[in-house]
Structure formats: structure tokens, C-alpha cells
Amino acid sequence: MKNIAILGSTGSIGRSTLDVVDLLSNRFNVIGLAAGRNSELLARQIKQFKPEIVSLEKESDADFLKAQDFSDSVRILCGQEGTEEIARNKDIDIIVAAITGISGLRSTITAVKYGKKVALANKESMVVAGPLIQKLAEESGSQIIPVDSEHSGVFQCLAKEDKKNVKRVILTASGGPFFQSTKEEMKNSTIEDALNHPRWEMGEKVTIDSATMMNKGLELIEARWLFDLQPEQLDVLIHPQSIVHALVEMRDGSVIAQLSQTDMKIPIQYALTYPEREEAPLPPLDLSKIRALEFYEVDKEKFPMILLAREALNEGDSAPVALNAANEVAVKAFLEKKIVFSDIFFVINTIMRDHKKNHVDNLDDILSVDRETKLQTRNFLEQRL
Ligand code: MG
């Protein structure tokens, strides 16, 4: 029996994780849950999974929970402190890091420092702090298993391989809602268009990131640190069916691929049970029904964000931190209808042209680049609006 905690339990990944755990209740026991503002859903999760310790972002939401009548005793905490207390709790074996954005960084680092097995769904952690997390994991013996479908795919392809034989790693991208659109059509796309993802059901931020393809850019940077690869070993292919999640090209010419249904429960379950596997309550993958698996190069004119991400990947140091920060602010502005779709790239590109790269090797440095870049991006947006 393994004790697990889910940081970000009310989000898309968090809810799918609880679905997985519910069916594997003979193997996993939920000890901790941390959520943002959705106190009502967290209350229902507490009733169902009976964790010992929970945390919410705001004190007022924690007070709402304290006023509820839970049959078993549960400690209710709040804020960053609360999340981190869960991340380092000595009774917990596995931390599912599923808080979106850079706000998930501190608790991911805490879990790694405390030697937990980390099922990593928060991609920003590796994007902004890859080298630091790598170093901390080496020191503490923490094992990081990716949850993101593409990285889970790479992880599975590499599981039995010697890394020196790996030539190239290719992440696939569905192409998002605009794969068939022209650049002109994309320019003034609405939030509804951008949120209408053809393959995956995800949170709003990552869905917009998929529409711009920044998501794939961030995933390239994440892969560099998760698998200790060089930037030139990483590539992207558009694969509209989203069945092949990753391809690993070996130096003898073999290409190993990981295929599965488009359902996040598969990589989530793998991360939890690794190195073992369990039955999943899904119909088997029937390739005779899917018939065609297509692959296309990324149209960089249409998706220039991928070039920006690659630049940051090559530059390293503070560049990915700035990229991620500018993107968070720009996507928020788009979701608040303050800018149009094509502005997202324009804003981030302007900020990145201005960015003076500097060395970041601890959490404070990273957070300060993040803060400064966000401020700069907000100022730029204000001047323009
Ligand atoms: Mg992904």
C-alpha cells in the first residue's frame, strides 16, 4: 500500500488521478490533497477519499471547509505553507505534482528535496528549474516520473534502453484546434475557438498553450531536463490522431514508439504504478478502427511560438523562465479578452527580444526572473491597450 498526495486535486489532472486511485484503492491510499479555490469540490473529495491533511489557497476557503462536518478528522491548512507541508509529510510516498503554472514549482521542489517519488504533471517546474531539480533529485534519491502523455511515452520507450544509444527524441503534437486553419483565420480567433481542442480535455491554460503550440515548446524544454538530452536531440511532429505520443530514434536506425488511447488516465496510472503495470478500465486500442496514423512537420509560419521556445531551449539559463512568465501573462490577458490570439506571440516575442539572459541556479533567482518578467509583460500590455 502506497500513501499518496495530490497537489492540484480539483484540476483536470487531479480529478483524473483520483479516478485512477479510486479503482486501485487496494494499492493506493490518499493521505493529502491540495487545491486552489474550488473548496466545494475539495469538500466532496475529502468525503470520498478521507485524506488526513488538505490545503487550499485562501484562508477564507479553508474556513469554509472547517465549517463542514467531515466524519473523520482532517487537518485543514492553507496557502503555500499548507501545500508544502503536504509535499514533505513523512507518511507520504508519492506526490502527484499537478498544480498548473509556476505556482506549482515550490511544492515540486519540496517533494523532490524530501526524496519523494514525484509523479510530475506540472510542466513549468522542469521548464524553469530543470537543472536545479535534476541536482536535488540526485542528492535526495527522489524519482521523477512524468505524467504528461508525451513524456510518459518517452519514459516508457527509454525504460529498457541505454541512453548512449539514443539519437533523437520526437514529441508528437495534435496540432490543436488550428491545425487546419490559415494564419489569417487564426489571427482573430476567439477564446471559444482556441479552447475547442480536438483531442484532449484539459485545463484552460494548457488548452490555449496547445492552440499556440507553446505547450509543445515547453514540453521540449521539459524533455531536455527530464531525460538529460541535448537541445538538438529533440524534435516535434504533428500527429493529429494523438495515438503515438513519443518516438525515440536509436542510433542503429530503430525507432521505438509509445501508443495508447488519448486518455490522461493511462500516463497517470503508469506514473503511480511504475515500474509495475495494472489493468486500466479502458477499451483496448484498436488500430484497425483508427487505420491511419499521420505525421506532419510543424508549420513554423503558423506556429512561430515553437521557434521562440526553441530559442529559449538553446539559450538556457533564465531564458526559459522568462518565456514561461511572459506566456503566463499573455495567455491570461487573452483569456480575459484583453488581447487577440495573434497578440500572444507578439507580446512574448517582444519580451524575449528584450530579455537579458542571466544565470539562475537557485529558487530565489528563478522566482525573481519570473516576477520581473511578469511585471515587464504586464507593463507592456498596459502601454499597448
Ligand atoms: Mg502533453
Render pLDDT for 305-363 as a digit per residue (tens, 0 to 9): 999 999 999 999 999 999 999 999 999 999 999 999 999 999 999 999 999 999 998 99
Domains of the chain as residue ranges with CATH: 2-146 (3.40.50.720), 152-384 (1.10.1740.10)
Checking if the pLDDT of 72 tops 80, the result is no
- The greatest distance separating any two alpha carbons of the chain, rounded to the nearest whole angstrom, comes to 63
Between the CA of 152 and the centroid of ligand 1 the distance, in Å, is 9
Between the CA of 182 and the centroid of ligand 1 the distance, in Å, is 23
CA distances from 282 to 23, 261, 269, 352 (A): 12, 8, 12, 43
Strands (E), 38-154: 53-56, 75-78, 94-97, 117-120, 143-146
pLDDT of 131 over the 90 cut: yes
What is each CA distance from 32 to 35, 321, 341, in whole angstroms? 10, 29, 38
Strand partners, 171: 236, 246
C-alpha to C-alpha distances, 92 to 29, 277, 307, nearest whole angstrom = 9, 21, 40
pLDDT at 138: 97
What are the tens digits of pLDDT across the range 288-307?
Answer: 999 999 999 999 999 999 99
Confidence of residue 71 (pLDDT cuts 50, 70, 90): confident
pLDDT of residue 25: 95
Q: Would you say residue 70 has pLDDT above 80? A: yes
Distance from residue 177's CA to the centre of ligand 1 (Å): 15
8 Å CB contact between 4 and 93: yes
Q: How confident is the model at residue 193 (pLDDT cuts 50, 70, 90)?
A: confident
**How far is ligand 1, taken at its centre, from the CA of residue 211, in Å?**
12
Q: Is 19 left (phi over 0), alpha (psi -120 to 50) or beta?
A: alpha
- Give the alpha-carbon dihedral of 68, 70, 71, 74, to 10 degrees: -130
DSSP calls for 317-374: TTHHHHHHHHHHHHHHHHHTTSS-HHHHHHHHHHHHHH-------SHHHHHHHHHHHH
Segment 215-244 shows an average pLDDT of: 97
**Which of 6, 239, 252, 243 lies closest to 119 in space, CA to CA?**
6
Tell how far the Cα of 287 is from the centroid of ligand 1, in angstroms: 21
The Å distance, Cα 186 to ligand 1 centre, comes to 21
Of 264, 290, 168, 268, the closest CA to residue 220 belongs to 168
Distance 202 CA to ligand 1 centre (A): 10
| CB count in 10 Å sphere of residue 288 | 5
Structure pTM?
A: 0.94
141 CA to middle of ligand 1, Å? Answer: 26
